[in-house]
Structure 1
Amino acid sequence: MELFPYEEFRPYQREIYEKTYTTLLTGGTLLINAPTGLGKTAAVISAAAKYILETGGVVHYTVRTRTELEPPVRELANIMRRGVELDYVVIKSRQDMCCYQQLKKLDYLEFLAECNLLKSMDKCVYYPPRDVSIPLKNVSAYIKFLCTAYSCPYEYAKARLNRAKLIISTYYYILGREHIDLKDRAVIIDEAHSIFDAVIHLYTVKVSETDVKSAYREAKKYGFLEEASKIYALLTFIRKMSGVVDLGDLLGIVEDLDLENAIWEIIKKKTDEKINPYTPLILLRELKNALKSRIKYFSEIRGEDATKVLVLQPLDPTSLVKEKLKEAKSVIYISGTLPISLFSTTLGLIKYSHIDISFSEYIPRQNYLSIVDLGVTTKFTERSEDMYVKIAQRIADIINISPGGVLAVFPSYEVLKGVRKYLSISIPHWYEGSQEVDLHNLPDRFFIGAVARGRYAEGVEYVRDGKNLLSTVAVVGVPYPEPSPYLEKRVESLRPRLGEKAWNSVYLYYAIIAVRQAIGRLFRGPGDRGVLIFLDRRYAEPDIWSSLSDILSGSLIVNELGEAKENIIHFFTSVLKVAK
């Protein structure tokens, strides 16, 4: 039976399908970089289904966020509508799958406590889960069907994790703290460019001064006076310290805390009182466990006065990824913005296969005009009011020339604010951080000032009736993450393994992904057309140029954007003629 759910393959889809199937069959590592709109998900899911049906193997397909579950579930549903039978399961966080809408408004730890309370008192009408057959359409329909059948969607999915042949989940179920046996299993990681950030998020521990104060009061209230005094020592430490703190000092404060007994007794008493059994001591247990684990952490205290927060972040997310995936039979990383060379170097991959479909292969060169302006930069040492004025003048010119929407992506809020005060815009306009953009009611011409890695520069579409409303994307500066003690420590931790490449694996990696994500707002498919403008001379430097060569090759290199004005006008005139 033909498993591919469409009449024919789009360009490059067959290559992805066949290479994915071969890797699943023989094992190993495959990196796939292919632009958005090409149909990666359909090709990969089809190959996974073929592999499962022919070999009986198990495939775990994982995505970063709950919204990213929809594409693989949708493609699986398309395959199953062709008469294919697959033993599958879809799972995300317990709270997201809960049938009680009012519980979704609680903080996550409070939700868990309330969930456990309802189950222990036999008051959850959806627990234990019922074994039902589910027609697959999309994630929300999957959950709604189970709720209608009075079967807890989370518990239903969890019970099937070890016997399903195809698992579609968020990253947590592969990369989280809990151990999962991946021996002889295949793992497909979607949006792989974000895997390091995702792992950092999953393993980060945050405990606020307010949390510690609440834990102290609760320990005291329920008679755990010795624990209360030790918790107060932690509270004093957080109040007195700021910035980077020593892990040994922290561990010395919390390692003798008898939290298990205190948590057990407090939960029991609260359950007897029929109140939410959550206790902030659970957060302190998480902190203690992190400090005592083998994971190398960076710790600092952020904020001031009563808003202080103790933060632990893993120093080497790459080692956590490798540890989690080391027993998998095969691992396939897929993304629309995966810098293959930087990614493989950072992860320490030596032997792997790859498919790297460049921007210029997918988008015809005549469909875009790219310009590098050498006359400006947002380099930290050269930021000034005069530089902000120059950038603002260029953006104003871009807006005046462009026939459609203009998206300007800034490296930080600081630069955005610096430039914004010199902009006077007559068309409808919005700035990230101060105004909400109604993406469903954008006019034909508009301007959005966005921030790299923000909500308007990644994962959003500016589309109406299938047509992209953007005509121009201007990348202002190079969107390196702002230097911080944490990032510098990460570079330092990578240096023994990567040497001079350590800095690129942290800073350049994030910058290149941010640029490609910004460009992806304008180019969602080979039929899109527009202008790409890079407002920073550093785009002409070797490291950045080589990392973006598929986009930058053939660019106009100018000292001032005005030099390219006639080229831009001619390009848009040609585009409008083609459209007519």
Structure 2
Amino acid sequence: MKYREWQRSLRDKVIFSLKRDKVVLLQAPTGSGKTFFALDVAFSVSNKVLITVRTHNEFYPFYREIKTHFQDKRYVSVVGRTNSCLLADEKAKPEDISCSGCVYLSWRDVVFQGSPFEYLAKLKEEGKREGFCPYHSIMNSVEEADVVLITYPYLFIPSLRDSLGISLSDYTVVVDEAHNLDSLLDLEERRISQASINLALKQAENEETRLILDKLRSKMTSLVFNEKKYILLDKGRVSSLLEKEELSVIADEASHLSQKMIAQRKITANHLLSIVKFFESLEDSEIKVFSSNNNLVAKPVSSMKYLEFFNDDDVKGIFMSGTLQSKEYFSSVLGLRKDAVYVDVEKEVGRVGGQYECFIALDVTSSYALRGEEMSKRYASYLLRIYYQSARHVLSVFPSYEMIEKISSFIRSINTFPETPRTKIDDLIEHVKHTPKVLIMATARGKLSEGVEVSEDGRSLISDVAIVGVPYPPLDDYMKARAEEVSKISKKNYLEELMQMPAYISVRQAIGRSIRSPEDKSNVWLLDRRFNNLWWKKNIKCFNPKVIRL
């Protein structure tokens, strides 16, 4: 195999660490060859590799490398019940799908050929025609595969990990895009709202159930607030919204509805079951309850349990990203106590990615106290100036959808693509195909700032990135509760780090959209005076930025 210089230089170091059952924290720029490197070193240590990614779309780069460089390896991509069930629609959640009594409850041996999505589509067609279940067929083939591709829930949720039927000690585990690990807390989030109760009422047939739900809807109004920020609620007060006997009545009807869907061969969202699962989750001592956007939200605030199994002596793995958290963050916040080896490729061997030039604006800020119409107009002026001087598309990243809406109202003379909660990546890709230059207006930690790849022949079509304000997450009760949990273990106030790290990752991820190969060059516009400090310059590698004003 032909190795890049950095891969050749660091290969033995990483293999040595993995053979000692250590964890390797690998930071390497986008387009530098992390995917191939991870597979190569993993197979040098184990006969089998388990790869976990955040979304199904991220299976493809690994499939491409397997097809090109590891053709003798058999792979399987595990997709959840909602994507592989022959009876479920796009609204159904995994918990809504009960396999008991299903006419397709049988399986056959499968050998993945072609890309993950192509083969899944083929498998579902064959399943309908021949009467077998694609999901159970895929799960039954996991143990025989050399490479197993899964999404985060199948590694970090114990019940789903156990469903794979494998021993992790037989594998080298690769966690891709590991900067997303803070989002593991969202995997067990539960929500109910007036709207979801209304949907449950439509599904309820039992009059007693309807009366209970109607009472719940009425009592809930005093606990929720029309604010996006998370507001901590008294857990006991929320639990008391339903008596145990009342919850049992709803659970019985939810179970009846599940069986009815199976019998009718049409499974959709079971809103009754969602209410049951919400209240059952409150029994977990690690769950806290918040109000957000007129929703009751139940979720954990500590990430430490999710990585606990990595601390076992016989589990080895690689966490990798172009924007990886620090070793201390992995230990103190994410709970990785095991000895880890941190490998920052560019610190070890020099630059391996593309280049960018930085500009810092000193006369704008997204600081909440200073937001207003005048500041929005200034930001609009900057974006117009950047757009007119740019060679190709411009990616602008905002702290929130609200800021996109306010600032875009002052930009009317150019081609823009503002992100909304309903925007799909395919919509943007289709738009840029037919337009020579677009101002993409994306929200931090959203689909377009982290998930999009606007490129051609491996080169980015984004020439400029504008960071419109520092994209800190909201400082609310949820963030404070997280900091409190971390502080119990670390004996240190981690609130600042918990605010700073998501902002840093968002900025680095946005910059990475313009650097898809070592040959790419771009301009990075840091439009907030708070970027003009040593911490930001050092961490986003803007050592000699140009200072600008309107």
**1:576 aligned residue:** none
Identity %: 25
Contact in 2 for aligned 1:495/1:502 (Cα 8 Å) = yes
**1:142 aligned residue:** 119
Shift of 1:458: 1.6
Shift of 1:517: 1.0
**2:545 aligned residue:** 555
Shift of 1:173: 0.8
Matches within 5 A, 1:205-284: 205-213=190-198, 215=200, 221-222=205-206, 225=208, 231-243=213-225, 244-254=232-242, 256=244, 257-258=247-248, 261-265=252-256, 267=258, 279-284=270-275
After TM superposition, the score normalised by the length of structure 1 is 0.80
Is 1:76 matched with 2:57? no
Contact in 1 for aligned 2:91/2:269 (Cα 8 Å) = no
**2:318 aligned residue:** 332
Which of the residues 406, 415, 421 maps onto 1:418? 406
Q: Indicate how the Cα distance of structure 1 residues 363 and 477 shifts in structure 2: closer, same or farther if over 3 A, else same.
A: farther
Which of the residues 521, 529, 533 maps onto 2:525? 533
Contact in 1 for aligned 2:399/2:469 (Cα 8 Å) = yes
**1:195 aligned residue:** 181
What's the secondary structure of 1:250's corresponding residue? helix
Shift of 1:442: 4.5
Shift of 1:528: 0.6
Which of the residues 46, 64, 84 maps onto 2:54? 64
Which of the residues 376, 388, 401 maps onto 1:388? 376
What's the secondary structure of 1:552's corresponding residue? coil
Deviations 1:204-255, CA, capped at 9 Å, x for gaps = 0012324435546766x447x4x66655543332133224432112223446
What's the secondary structure of 1:32's corresponding residue? strand
What's the secondary structure of 1:130's corresponding residue? coil
Contact in 2 for aligned 1:17/1:44 (Cα 8 Å) = no
**1:346 aligned residue:** 333
**1:323 aligned residue:** 308
Distance in 2, matches of 1:276 and 1:442, equals: 39
**1:174 aligned residue:** 155
Contact in 2 for aligned 1:440/1:464 (Cα 8 Å) = no
Distance in 1, matches of 2:287 and 2:444, equals: 28
Q: Indicate how the Cα distance of structure 1 residues 284 and 339 shifts in structure 2: closer, same or farther if over 3 A, else same.
A: same
Shift of 1:271: 6.1
**Paired residues, number:** 523
Shift of 1:508: 0.7
**1:36 aligned residue:** 30
Shift of 1:177: 5.5
Distance in 1, matches of 2:50 and 2:373, equals: 51
After TM superposition, the score normalised by the length of structure 2 is 0.84
Contact in 2 for aligned 1:412/1:451 (Cα 8 Å) = yes
Which of the residues 319, 339, 345 maps onto 1:357? 345
What's the secondary structure of 1:71's corresponding residue? helix
What's the secondary structure of 1:397's corresponding residue? helix
Distance in 1, matches of 2:383 and 2:529, equals: 16
**2:281 aligned residue:** 290
Q: Which amino acid aligns with 1:131?
A: D
Q: Which amino acid aligns with 1:554?
A: N
Shift of 1:163: 5.6
Distance in 1, matches of 2:412 and 2:268, equals: 54
Which of the residues 386, 394, 407 maps onto 1:398? 386
**2:229 aligned residue:** none
Distance in 2, matches of 1:61 and 1:408, equals: 32
Deviations 1:30-78, CA, capped at 9 Å, x for gaps = 111111111111111122233333xxxx532111101111122222233
Distance in 2, matches of 1:418 and 1:111, equals: 39
Distance in 1, matches of 2:522 and 2:402, equals: 27
Larger of the two Rg values belongs to structure: 1
**2:508 aligned residue:** 516
Distance in 1, matches of 2:378 and 2:217, equals: 48
**1:299 aligned residue:** 290
What's the secondary structure of 1:362's corresponding residue? coil
Contact in 1 for aligned 2:468/2:528 (Cα 8 Å) = yes
**2:228 aligned residue:** none
Distance in 1, matches of 2:382 and 2:375, equals: 11
**1:470 aligned residue:** 462
Distance in 1, matches of 2:292 and 2:402, equals: 22
Deviations 1:349-381, CA, capped at 9 Å, x for gaps = 45310111349943678x432122222211112
Distance in 1, matches of 2:289 and 2:10, equals: 39
Q: Indicate how the Cα distance of structure 1 residues 288 and 12 shifts in structure 2: closer, same or farther if over 3 A, else same.
A: same
Q: Structure 1 regions of 5+ residues with no counterpart?
A: 1-6, 304-308, 562-580
Deviations 1:422-475, CA, capped at 9 Å, x for gaps = 33534x332223985334514333322222222322221222344432221121
Contact in 2 for aligned 1:16/1:43 (Cα 8 Å) = no
| Higher alpha-carbon deviation: 373-382 or 274-283 | 274-283
Shift of 1:203: 0.4
Distance in 2, matches of 1:422 and 1:493, equals: 42
**1:429 aligned residue:** 416
Is 1:131 matched with 2:109? yes
Deviations 1:380-419, CA, capped at 9 Å, x for gaps = 1222333233332222222232232222222222333333
Shift of 1:291: 0.8
**1:573 aligned residue:** none
**2:441 aligned residue:** 449
Q: Indicate how the Cα distance of structure 1 residues 22 and 145 shifts in structure 2: closer, same or farther if over 3 A, else same.
A: farther
Is 1:313 matched with 2:299? yes
Shift of 1:520: 0.8
Q: Indicate how the Cα distance of structure 1 residues 488 and 408 shifts in structure 2: closer, same or farther if over 3 A, else same.
A: same
- Structural RMSD (CA): 3.2
Q: Structure 2 regions of 5+ residues with no counterpart?
A: 226-231
Distance in 2, matches of 1:283 and 1:154, equals: 22
